[in-house]
Amino acid sequence: YTGITRARTGVVIAASRPILLAGGKRGVHRYSGLADRLRATLRSSG
């Protein structure tokens, strides 16, 4: 994802159609801690 969004002129994806479609359906879960930090900030300022 990062490489595609930062590409300057284009991108080449080498995959069969079923693999490409399966990859598009997968969910990505990331934990950065941002939501927790925002909640803590709201609690302390409220």
pLDDT digits (tens, 9 = 90+) for 9-25: 888 888 888 988 888 88
Task: Provide the whole-model pTM.
Answer: 0.39
What is the structure's pLDDT at 1?
60
Q: Specify the higher pLDDT residue, 3 or 14.
A: 14
CA distance 22 to 35: 29
- Type of residue numbered 29: H
Which tens digit of pLDDT belongs to each residue from 24-40? 888 777 778 888 888 88
| Three-state DSSP class for residue 46 | coil
Cα-atom radius of gyration of the chain, to the nearest Å? 18
Written as one string, the DSSP assignment of 12-24 is -----HHHHHHHH
